[in-house]
Amino acid sequence: MSSVFYAVLHLILSILIPVANIVVIVILSKLIKKKCCKSYVFILNLAAADLLVGLMCILEALDDLLDGDFDSNLFFCLLRLCFTVTPCIASMLTLLLISLDRYLAVKLPLYYANIMSTKSICALITLIWVVSFFVGYMPLISPSLQQNDYKGICGLFYAAKNEYLYILCFIVFLPALLTMICLHTAVGRIAYLHHVRIQRSQVVGGLPSNPAAHSSHFKAARTVLIVIICFIISWGPYYITGIIQATCQSCKLVDLMKDILFALGELNSLLNPIIYTFYCTEIRTYLYKYLVCKRRKVKPQTLAVVHFSNIRQALDEEALAAQEDRDPGVTIFMGPTDYRMEASGSFIDSNGSSLQEQPVYRIL
């Protein structure tokens, strides 16, 4: 019964995670082409990594449904684990890169464009994926990290040794987490100092206070803070439990890590696009504009009802000269008769009849 539950959970994640991240990828791609905002490239890379995590949930669902028969071979089990771990590591490192980008934008605004050039961004993203692939596929690269007595149950503790978990925790997770916290703390401190300086300058200059302008200094840091908190909540229990299991031989927490806690970590790949969609103003505005406004249907009104099939395509010179002798106004041409707009706003034809007396047509 539990295997069916986790299979359904992974199946739901395999649908929601790709859909949410594809939407963010499409929006960010259009925003990058429109505004050439380099910082969006990092968020785009985060969405791509989370998209791969969602696709890997399909393999998790198959493993749950087949009750371990899908990964009875050690090599295929490690291959599936590496497929899953690699985008998770890339997602963590991309969050670190986003925090670094926000820090440089606030700390060194005059030099930010030179530091975060196109070449630098491409090099950083390439480095992230190289490191992710190397660490993710380390159990396949180094046989010393593989379990010698594989029992046919596919899981990180069942297929890999404790040393690999130490590498993930103490070389990837904890350094990335502590660095993000330090960078975000520095960003908040700089934003607060800017806020204080603006207040002092307004008091000295006698300028009116603008709370909205002050709060803008904290908006960039707020989104990153929320992402980091969700990252800690999602992956923290998995790695903490893993360290406990690795150091406590009598503890039986492997199944808890394999099922609930790893699914909680995968849930982070769904939270990231939701956070950026709701807390990033430009992404939210673009999503509303292109996914909501386009679906609105404009109901036909009783005004501006013209039968366009009888519009006169051209006028000869005599007709134009005759129009110049008439009273000033805007002349429109509908059907066989010429109408002109009077100062009162009504339309009168050459016979003195009002447009309201004519047949009304509705544009379909």
Give the pLDDT confidence of 327-350 residue by residue, as tens digits: 444 444 444 455 455 555 555 555
Indicate the range of 163-167, 195-199, 358-362 predicted with least confidence: 358-362
Is the pLDDT higher at 297 or at 83? 83
Domain spans of the chain?
A: 2-295, 308-357
Question: Residue range 228-252: average pLDDT?
Answer: 86
Q: Burial code of 120-137, b = ≥16 C-beta within 10 A, e = fewer?
A: ebeebbeebbebbbebbb
Q: Percent of the chain at pLDDT above 70?
A: 72
The pLDDT assigned to 75 comes to 86
CA 286 centroid distance within chain:
11
174-205 vs 211-247: helix crossing angle, rounded to 10: 160
DSSP E strand boundaries for the chain: 331-334, 337-341, 347-349
What is the domain class of 2-295 according to CATH?
A: mainly alpha
Mean pLDDT of the chain: 76
Is the pLDDT higher at 180 or at 351? 180
The pLDDT assigned to 94 comes to 92
**For residues 105 and 112, is the Cβ–Cβ distance under 8 A?**
yes
Helix, strand or coil, per DSSP, at residue 341: strand
Question: Residue range 247-276: average pLDDT?
Answer: 84
Residue 138 has pLDDT above 80, yes or no: yes
Residue 185 has pLDDT above 50, yes or no: yes
**For residues 91 and 56, is the Cβ–Cβ distance under 8 A?**
no
CA trace torsion 179, 182, 188, 193 (10° rounding):
-130
pLDDT band at 362 (very low <50, low <70, confident <90, very high): very low
Q: What is the DSSP string of 166-202?
A: HHIIIIIIHHHHHHHHHHHHHHHHHHHHHHHHHHHHH
For strands 331-334 and 347-349, give the pairing: unpaired
